[in-house]
Structure 1
Amino acid sequence: MRNRSGRRVFVVGVGMTDFVKPGSREWDYPDMAREAGTAALADAGVGYREVEQAYVGYVYGESTSGQRAVYELGLTGIPVVNVNNNCSTGSTALYLAAQAVAGGLADCTLALGFEKMQKGSLGATYDDREQPMMRHLLATAELQEFAMPPAPYMFGAAGVEHSERYGTTAEQFAKIAVKNHRHSKNNPHAQFRDEYSLAEILGSRAIHGPLTKLQCSPTSDGSGAVVVASEDFVDRHGLAGQAVEIVGMAMVTDLPSTFEDQSVISLVGSDMTRTAAQRVYEQAGIDPGDVDVIELHDCFSTNELLTYEALGLCAAGEGGALVDADDTTYGGRWVVNPSGGLISKGHPLGATGLAQCSELTWQLRGAADARQVSSAAASSGVALQHNIGLGGAVVVAAYRPAER
């Protein structure tokens, strides 16, 4: 990621907690932030006093929870910005931290995200004002009969539309969940590490449309952190051997097509993703065929398939064929969600984007242990990240090792 003067931006340290079922561990969000932030700083080999700005993301919390969180790392008087962008909160914090470095405002920044969630489906916090997704929900309800809860309703409805338009089957959506649960077996940070058969995925409790329970991401507690630095900072601290360059990064919010297309697929963000991906490919000078490993926003299995098409891994309507060909797992053209993805790794909203960045950094360093994608660890390795939040915003980023 560069500004117009060509200033380069690098990830030099990453860290995350285990993602766990809400209430299953005795901790609060400052504990989560301390654990993830300390790990990221230690990974970078720098102290908190070298961080010049911090961007802290969370969806559920009080107004200055970001300050309280990073105070666990130190009290240095730096600017601390609280960030909330629904499920893309973590990657939005990373986007802002990278922008500060790219723009020459800082040489070292911290992006940190966390979430302490309630059990069960997501609900509204306030009932005395319009919900930010109300326009999206109403537009979806004009296309398909309304159901609750809102998130699985919208993504399930998008799956129904894809099936009606292209013939995508329930089995193809379910195979995505089979893959991601299988991948998570090798991730010690994952909330779930159980493997399921296709029959077990299809036979779990029906949620909406093609979605069953095992095709839906769970609510989770956890935190992630990323240290971002300039090229000068990397050189001064001798970090080139572990640094990962952000070679492209874009954030896109809802476009006119979101509502004009009369499509649930557009309403859940496919055009946002497509636009952001195109910008990132142009910035990085790559195309989808150059990518080795991908962490994308599989909040529901239907969204992973939609995202294959929006990222340009295949043409519209061909996502099901990509699944059937095993082209998104080990031995295929790409490895998608080697971490287990949101479906199995977990989805603490403010931490998700930073956990994705952490996984891709480990992959490019060749440090992902049993999850390692061999081609990602090569000097030419390329990683792609996708994180979306309805209401709406999407962040897409591309990464390469600084040197091998």
Structure 2
Amino acid sequence: MGGRAYVIGVGMTKFEKPGGRDWDYPDMAREAGTNALADAGIDYERVEQAYVGYVYGESTSGQRAVYELGLTGIPVINVNNNCSTGSTALFLAVQAVRSGSAECALALGFEKMQPGSLGSTYEDREQPMMKHLLALAELQEFAMPPAPYMFGAAGREHIEKYGTTAEQFAKIAVKNHRHSVNNPYAQFRDEYTLDEILAAKTIYDPLTKLQCSPTSDGSGAAIIASEAFVEEHGLAAQAIEIAGQAMVTDMRSTFDDKSAISLVGAKMTSAAANRVYEQAGIGPEDVDVIELHDCFSTNELLTYEALGLCAEGEGGKLIDAGDTTYGGRWVVNPSGGLISKGHPLGATGLAQCAELTWQLRGTADARQVEGAGIALQHNIGLGGAAVVTAYRPADR
């Protein structure tokens, strides 16, 4: 893996409904980036490289975004990896520091989204998800919009194979909405009963509207530094080590399995998680707090299994037993997750990083997981890439 890399500063904006706030992406980036720099206690001039992620935007929007922080001539790399864009920017910043290419790097992500379901920008070329959609249409009849269709189909497959129930998926949404009540950065902060979740408008059975992440505007940022930089600036007390990190893209099994669960990336997640556990010298039983990609409640349950929190087919038992909330074996998505916190695509992975950094520092306020010592992040984008990261305090 090379040298060590540490998160020394994080920042984010409140996630907002598109059009709900009078701002543009440079405003978002300035707010998140300024907060991260202030948290690290350094000036932008100390940053040697910047990796800036967004999905919907023009070329070099990354430069326009970080120009709000300074004009220092550093390399600025624009990053787009669908819903895993933010964690991909983080992955690249960590690589730069570990390799010795930079002592201090910025990962920043933002999104200014259109209301409603995700859509394509260009209609005159192959859509990147077409191969996945055609494969899934051979298994379950195609439906719109594509994202809830794909993750809903994976949920249906889990129901058919393992007897999972609609109520178990809905309980995940109940949990995440309940967690978001304590998150001032969350787009939604309302609590719902199980009956209310189940009675909401059906988007694609078994998914109701309250089990789906919303379109959102917002930004997140993280400052990554080397061990020498941490020592030079006396940052060990606040630094959080990247104990392990892996990115995995689609494998033959994605399509050869003839499985909706594989098509939405469960095996990518599993492969990435196993690499991270090996790098960090930990297992899932050592983890205290997790931020994972609950774009839909079905995907959170699938991810329990892919991360090794339980055996395949037993994800429903975890939610029934209360094992993924406060007082359970893990606290999963203390931020409220994508379902309730929001999902500005380019910012999501960095907001997860921010939440876990606060948790491991013990500064997450009402969301604080008692005794949190090891954290795990999971961010996935279809088409596809899964990024898994393990964190621990520098002094641990």
TM-score, scaled to structure 1: 0.98
2:384 is matched with which residue: 381, 387, 392?
Answer: 392
Provide the residue aligned with 1:309 in structure 2.
305
Distance in 1 (CA, whole Å) between partners of 2:279 and 2:104 is 22
Distance in 2 (CA, whole Å) between partners of 1:109 and 1:140 is 39
Provide the residue aligned with 2:144 in structure 1.
148
Superposition RMSD on alpha carbons, in Å?
Answer: 0.5
State the identity as a percent. Answer: 81
Provide the residue aligned with 1:359 in structure 2.
355
Query: Alignment partner of 1:303: what SS?
Result: helix
Provide the residue aligned with 2:54 in structure 1.
58
Residue 331 of structure 2 corresponds to residue 335 of structure 1: yes
Aligned residue runs from structure 1 range 71-86, under 5 A: 71-86=67-82
1:204 is matched with which residue: 200, 205, 209?
Answer: 200
Query: Alignment partner of 1:400: what SS?
Result: strand
Aligned residue runs from structure 1 range 5-404, under 5 A: 7-376=3-372, 381-403=373-395
Query: Alignment partner of 2:228: what SS?
Result: helix
Distance in 1 (CA, whole Å) between partners of 2:146 and 2:297 is 16
The amino acid of 1:403's aligned partner reads D
Query: Alignment partner of 1:374: what SS?
Result: coil
The amino acid of 1:74's aligned partner reads G
Shift in Å at residue 403 of structure 1? 1.5
The amino acid of 2:169's aligned partner reads F
CA shift digits 1:293-350 (9 cap, x unpaired): 0000000000000000000000000000111000000000000000000000000000
Q: Which runs of 4+ in 1 moved over 3 A?
A: none
Shift in Å at residue 172 of structure 1? 0.1
Distance in 2 (CA, whole Å) between partners of 1:128 and 1:253 is 25
Distance in 2 (CA, whole Å) between partners of 1:248 and 1:170 is 34
Count residues in correspondence: 396
CA shift digits 1:61-110 (9 cap, x unpaired): 00100000000000000000000000000000000000000000000000
Query: Alignment partner of 2:9: what SS?
Result: strand
Query: Alignment partner of 1:375: what SS?
Result: coil
TM-score, scaled to structure 2: 1.00
Query: Alignment partner of 1:164: what SS?
Result: helix
Shift in Å at residue 164 of structure 1? 0.2
Distance in 2 (CA, whole Å) between partners of 1:326 and 1:348 is 28
Distance in 1 (CA, whole Å) between partners of 2:207 and 2:320 is 18
The unaligned stretches of length 5 or more in structure 2 are none
Shift in Å at residue 375 of structure 1? 2.0
Distance in 2 (CA, whole Å) between partners of 1:8 and 1:24 is 40
Shift in Å at residue 49 of structure 1? 0.2
Distance in 1 (CA, whole Å) between partners of 2:236 and 2:319 is 37
Query: Alignment partner of 2:168: what SS?
Result: helix
Distance in 2 (CA, whole Å) between partners of 1:32 and 1:321 is 40
Shift in Å at residue 139 of structure 1? 0.4
Query: Alignment partner of 1:36: what SS?
Result: helix
